[in-house]
Chain A
Amino acid sequence: QVQLVESGGGLVKPGGSLRLSCAASGFTFSDYYMSWIRQAPGKGLEWVSYISSSSSYTNYADSVKGRFTISRDNAKNSLYLQMNSLRAEDTAVYYCARVGPRGVNKLGLDAFDIWGQGTMVTVSS
Chain B
Amino acid sequence: EIVLTQSPGTLSLSPGESATLSCRASQSVSSSYLAWYQQKPGQAPRLLIYGASSRATGIPDRFSGSGSGTDFTLTISRLEPEDFAVYYCQQYSTFGQGTRLEIK
Contact = CB atoms under 8 A, between A and B. Distances in A.
A116 B43 CA distance: 9
8 contacts: A45-B90, A50-B93, A95-B45, A107-B32, A108-B29, A108-B91, A113-B50, A117-B43
Interface of A: 44-47, 50, 59, 61, 95, 100, 107-118
Contact of A110 (B33, B39, B97): B33
Contacts of A100: 50
Contact of B93 (A44, A47, A117): A47
Interface residues of B, number: 25
Given A108-B29, A117-B44, A46 B95 contact: yes
A112 B88 contact: no
A107 B31 CA distance: 9
A45 to B, nearest CB: 4
B26 interface: no
B46 interface: yes
A113 B92 CA distance: 13
A100 B39 CA distance: 18
A118 B39 CA distance: 13
A115 B45 contact: yes
B47 A108 contact: no
